[in-house]
Structures are given as C-alpha cells and as structure tokens.
Structure 1
Amino acid sequence: MSQSPLHGIKILDLSQHAPGPFATMILGDLGAEVIHVSHPSAGGGPGYFAQVLDDPFMGIRFSSNDTLMRNKRSIFLDLKTENGREICRKLALEADAIVVEMRPGKLAKFGLDHATLSVDNPGLITCCISGYGGSGPHAQTPGHDLNYIALSGALEVMRDSRGEPLQPQNVLADYAGGGYLAVIGILAALAARAKSGQGQEIDVGMLDGALLTLADLFSAPLNGIGDVSKWRTTLGGGMPNYRCYLCADGRYIAVGALEKRFFETLLSELNLLHLMDKMEDGTSNLMVTEELAAKFAEQPQSYWLKLLEGKEVCVTPVLDMAEVGNEPQVLAREMVIERFGVRQIAPAPRFSKTPSSVRTPPPKLGSHTTQVLRELGYDDESIDRIFESGAVGAS
C-alpha cells in the first residue's frame, strides 16, 4: 500500500481537550507519527461535575473508545518538573510540529516556547490553540465553545421559535474553528517550510476560527446590508421550503427544497401544488408552513421517505446518531468502520494514491512512556530515576 500523505512527519501533541486531539487525530490519520503527552494524574478532569463525566461524550475522553486518540502513542510527562521539561524539549527538537492548548505565554514559563525551541530546531512548527488567540483583551480569559460562538455572532442566527439563542453541541468553535483551523495551519506551514526550510508559530484562536467559518454570513452585516434578523426567515427555519417537519410517529423530516424546481416537485408529490403561488414575497410563509406541517403530520416518517424516494425534492430523514451507521450513503462510503474492536468514523478526505488509515487503536494513557524514553536515548537506569522523580508516571 502507498504511504500516507504525512508519512515521516512527527507531531508532539500537548493538547488535552477537544480541538487539539481532534487536529492531531486528523494528522495521524494522514500518516503523521503522533506522540501525545498527558500529565501523570490525567483522568477524570479536575473541576468537572459528576454529571459531566457521566455524559457519554465527555466521559469517553482518553478511554479505549476515544477515537480522537487513534494513531497516537501516549506518554506521561509532568512539565512542572525539570526532568519532564527536559524530556519534552528532546521530543520537541525531534518534532516537525507541536500542538498546544494553553493560555498564551504558558509555554514560555516552561522554556518550551517557539522562540526558544526554534533556536535548535529552526524547522519546528508550533501550533498554539487558545480560546481568544495570543493577543487582545480576552487572551488570558478562560472560556468554552459556547462563549466563543456567543461572541462570534453565531448565536444570533441560531434561535428557537421564541427567539432564544440555541445552545448547540461544541462543533463550531472547538472542532471547526479550533481543530480544523489548526490542521489547515500546520499543513500550510509544512508547505511553506518545504520552500524556505523555516518553521513558524501558528496562533489559532477559536473565536477567530468561528468568525472565519461565518465569513460568508458576515459579508452582509459588515457592509451594512440588510437586517441580520431576517436571516432567520430564510435558512434559519423561517422559509417553509427549508426547515424540519414533525411526522405522525414523532420523527422529523428535513426539507431543503430551496430552489423552485425542487419545491415544486415536492408540492406536486404532496398534492399541495397550489402553495407554489404563495412563495414569492414571503408574506404567506406562515400559512404555507402550517399546511405543510399538517400534511407531514398525517403519516409516519417512513411513509414520506418511501413516497419521495428517487424524487428530486431535497428531503431526508432527521436521524438519531445511533442510526447513522446504517444509513445507505454512509454504508456505501464506508464512513463508519470497525478497527481494533472499536466502531468509529473513518478518516477523510479520500486520496487516490496516498490513502489515510487507522493504524493503531486508542492507547492506554502513558502506555508508551518507557518506549519513547528509550527512543530518546535514556537507558534503563536513567528511566528508573525519571520515574522515581515523578516527572513521568506508569500507565
């Protein structure tokens, strides 16, 4: 099999939360060798309520089912100890890139900042992921996905029927604004290094990333065009041809028939073609929506899917996450795979000549500590002393 796109690239992962591990999972899928560093006391996450750890999404972190840890090796290091910092420095000097989730300036306190490390590793790329970026009045302010999307304006266009801001899962700022932006930055920096031989520091602010994700939406308000609140009458669920409807069985169906030809076909299939004349100026949106809602409420979701199957109407079921793995398109694309006894989402995108892959399972935290120390040149006696010092921990 051909080598993966990032074969031979070494990544040192000092991140712990969502965006960093997600970014390094993608880099690992693309073939990079990833060493993930955890504190010896890593586990439940200090400061969380028990109900947070009981949540399947939060509680799975760093377990054998945490697929963000696939294609990585795991070591324990305490960067507050001299030995821990020395080991981390040695790893950094062998790395092509470091991924960090710390408040700006914290790496410098450990002597592991980009300016210091790049003296001996000029090709090093340091990707620093933080909530608000490395500068500005909020640079040292703690926060989470909800805070970043609140400041980005995203919640302005995500409101419920009462006009209250919706609180979505942490996808926009953590994964899109943080994780994906970090991957893009690292890949771009690797391309630049191939030309110049020089690494650089990448400053990823999750607020910045959320704003960039909304760049198209901001084209209007930044230039004083129109009333932003009107967005909720188009793609925000205000238009009857672009929203979800409740079926008789309590399941939902998603109608995305934005273009006239798709909506006309849908109305024809529903025997509601008379509604087409009501769609031009938006004054009848509520009436059209109510008629469609009443229609879809007459039959279960399966009935409508069978009726509309093969028709160009842009209609899909709203699936539970447990159903997604059996969705025909997902099955055909083999986007849910089982590797090492763990069902997971497959790597993406797809490459015709240098495929990505899941090569190793999520490791037990710290399970590669001794192996990595030996690779750095430490003998068994030195390794024993390092363990005794508390700089590393046993898995």
Structure 2
Amino acid sequence: MTGFRRDGKYAAMAGHDINYLAVSGALGLLGRENEKPHPPWNIFADFAGGGAVLFQGVLLAVIARQTSGRGQVVEANMVDGSSYLATFPRMALKTPLGDKGRGNNLLDGGCPWYDTYETADAKYMAVGALEPQFFVALIKGLGLSGQGWEEKRADVARWPAFRHLIADTFRGKTRAEWEAVFDGTDACCTPVLEYPELESQPGREGDQRPVVTLRETPCLAVKQGAALINAAQYGQGSGIAGDGYVGQPLSPGSGGEGVLRDWVGWQSGREYEVKGGGLVLKDGETSKL
C-alpha cells in the first residue's frame, strides 16, 4: 500500500489524504460553487481509496488462488483508489449530469432539492427528492403545493429563487418539528444526525453495527449486548467497550503476532520472523494469503 503511485512523479514525496485526493482529481469535485475544494476528513483516500480497495485486492487474489494454487503480491495506492471511487462523477463531467462545474450540478449541491437546510434550532435537514413523485411529497410537506414548483423544477434559471424559498421555509420550524412532518413519507427528507445524538439516543438509525450482515457466519458484535437480540443482524459475541463510539488504538507491534496466530495459525520462527519492528516471511520470496 502506498499513498502516491510508486511509478509517478510524487513517488518519493510525503503526502496525506488531501494530497492523494488532490492529484487524483477527486478533490476538485468536492465543494460549493465559488468556494475552495473541501477535504472530507480522511475517509476518502486513506480508508476507502486505500484500505478498502487494498482489501478488495486481497479478496481478488484469494479467489485467483483457487485456480492458480499460488499467492501473489497485492499492490494498491490511494491515488488510483480515489480515482476509482470517483468513477461516477468523473464520467458525469462529460454529460449534462455533471458538466456545469463544481457545486452547480444535480448531486453536488447545485440542485435545490438535493441539499441540506438549516432549521430554526440551528440544526439541519437533508433533502434528496430527485424523482417527481418524491418532489411532490417534499413540496406538500413544506406547504408549498399549488405554487407551480412541480412544473417549474426543471427550469435551472429558477433554482436560486427556489433555494431561497426552501431555505426560508425550513428555518420556520425546528428539526424535530420537520422530522414529525416528513417521517414516514417518501419526500426523501431526513434529519442530519450527529454522532453524539446517535450515541445518546437509542433507536436512532445510526447505532453501531457490523458493516455487513453475514447470516450464516455473523461478524463480531460492535454494541455490547446487541448480539443477544439478533446475532445475525447485530453480530456475535459480547460487543466492544464503548459500543463503537470509543476508539481502541493499538501501538505499533501491539497484538500483531496474536492476530496471525489466531487467524491463520502462523507462529514466529516458523512462518515468519520479526525484523526491525516488522514481520518477514521466512521463505523471503513469495507471499502467502
């Protein structure tokens, strides 16, 4: 795993998530019109374009091993990974869906009914009413039916005025009041929740669970006690202290040998040796998966 490409002009340079996004082209897609590009924490390049893409590569190599009988080196970098994740907006640059510049398109904040709006209590609602029937439900919930917006919504020239109208309307009620209006409807209008709320308000959609559900071989539970309800959905085991909201950092070298022993049965001195703080395979020539 590398940040920049190993064969590119930046190969010998230090970098971070924002730099990998920048040279991949993905960062240039993120942000409002007439504002500078905005980095999305380090979830795009580091964790998605890097870690998740590398993991996909490992899985592909495992599948390939079933026919070849051999392992192989899996290589990934965060520039190519980020560009891959941005495939849809990158291709949309060549179509009416995304050719209007950053912040002016349907899905990047340019469209009034695909955006976030502040409420009376300084919180936010998210709107994604793309299809006509969802748009009708949104207009009804906002109390704006009968004003012709259903027919005018495709007129881009009217978008600024419509955006101001929607913004003023949302500021007329608290987020909880808007939730009461839109919950159970097809308006594609939901609250913008924050993690402290999810942590302190049981029943919210974002309670921490395993990232995927494996019905036959459930993942480990994240939230303590949740597995007792439904292991297939919430995971198996007793859960993790902090219910997924408290980090459990490891120092370099901490737990690595135990994971190799428990997961794949490897032992130091047999399959690998510890050198310079790292684990080196004893054969020194080919990797094992």
TM-score (norm 2): 0.73
Q: Distance in 2 between matches of 1:163 and 1:209?
A: 25
Which position in structure 2 is the counterpart of 1:356? 219
- 1:256–1:287 Cα change, 3 Å: same
- 1:376–1:165 Cα change, 3 Å: closer
Q: Distance in 2 between matches of 1:231 and 1:160?
A: 4
Q: Distance in 1 between matches of 2:92 and 2:86?
A: 11
Matched ranges for 1:265-276 at <5 A = 265-273=137-145, 274=147, 275-276=149-150
- 1:280–1:193 Cα change, 3 Å: same
TM-score (norm 1): 0.55
Structure 2 contact 4–11 (Cα < 8 Å) conserved: yes
1:241 aligns with 2:113: yes
Q: Distance in 2 between matches of 1:279 and 1:181?
A: 38
1:282 aligns with 2:156: yes
Deviates more, 1:264-273 or 1:219-228: 219-228
Which position in structure 2 is the counterpart of 1:168? 40
Which position in structure 2 is the counterpart of 1:55? none
- 1:259–1:224 Cα change, 3 Å: closer
Give the counterpart letter for 2:167 in structure 1.
Answer: A
Structure 2 contact 5–11 (Cα < 8 Å) conserved: yes
Deviates more, 1:224-233 or 1:169-178: 224-233
1:328 to 198, 203, 209: 203
1:261 aligns with 2:133: yes
- 1:260–1:363 Cα change, 3 Å: closer
Equivalent position SS for 2:104: helix
Deviations 1:274-333 (A, max 9, x none): 2223211211000001011111111111111101121110011111221124363536xx
1:303 aligns with 2:195: no
Structure 2 contact 97–105 (Cα < 8 Å) conserved: no
How far 1:133 moved relative to its partner?
Answer: 2.6
Deviations 1:49-92 (A, max 9, x none): xxxxxxxxxxxxxxxxxxxxxxxxxxxxxxxxxxxxxxxxxxxx
Give the counterpart letter for 1:209 in structure 2.
Answer: G
- 1:131–1:230 Cα change, 3 Å: closer
Aligned pairs, how many? 242
Which position in structure 1 is the counterpart of 2:191? 317
How far 1:271 moved relative to its partner?
Answer: 1.8
Q: Distance in 2 between matches of 1:370 and 1:255?
A: 48
Give the counterpart letter for 1:134 in structure 2.
Answer: R
How far 1:162 moved relative to its partner?
Answer: 3.5
How far 1:260 moved relative to its partner?
Answer: 1.2
Give the counterpart letter for 1:328 in structure 2.
Answer: G
Give the counterpart letter for 2:160 in structure 1.
Answer: L
Structure number with higher relative contact order (C-alpha < 8 Å, ≥ 6 residues apart): 1
Deviations 1:177-212 (A, max 9, x none): 001101101111111112211111122110000000
How far 1:348 moved relative to its partner?
Answer: 2.0
Deviates more, 1:364-373 or 1:233-242: 364-373
**Structural RMSD (CA):** 3.1
2:5 to 133, 139, 151: 133
How far 1:236 moved relative to its partner?
Answer: 1.2
Q: Distance in 1 between matches of 2:187 and 2:97?
A: 31
1:157 aligns with 2:157: no
Structure 1 contact 234–242 (Cα < 8 Å) conserved: yes
Equivalent position SS for 1:303: helix
Structure 2 contact 31–103 (Cα < 8 Å) conserved: no
- 1:377–1:154 Cα change, 3 Å: closer
Which position in structure 2 is the counterpart of 1:252? 124
Equivalent position SS for 1:219: helix
- 1:155–1:232 Cα change, 3 Å: farther
Matched ranges for 1:55-204 at <5 A = 129-204=1-76
Q: Distance in 2 between matches of 1:364 and 1:131?
A: 22
Give the counterpart letter for 2:73 in structure 1.
Answer: E
How far 1:231 moved relative to its partner?
Answer: 5.9
Q: Which runs of 5+ in 2 are unaligned?
A: 222-236, 241-247, 278-289
Which position in structure 1 is the counterpart of 2:268? 376
- 1:391–1:356 Cα change, 3 Å: same
Deviations 1:80-112 (A, max 9, x none): xxxxxxxxxxxxxxxxxxxxxxxxxxxxxxxxx
How far 1:157 moved relative to its partner?
Answer: 2.2
Give the counterpart letter for 1:142 in structure 2.
Answer: A
How far 1:223 moved relative to its partner?
Answer: 8.5
Q: Which runs of 5+ in 1 are unaligned?
A: 1-128, 337-345, 379-385
Q: Distance in 1 between matches of 2:132 and 2:97?
A: 25
Give the counterpart letter for 1:188 in structure 2.
Answer: L
Q: Distance in 1 between matches of 2:79 and 2:143?
A: 46
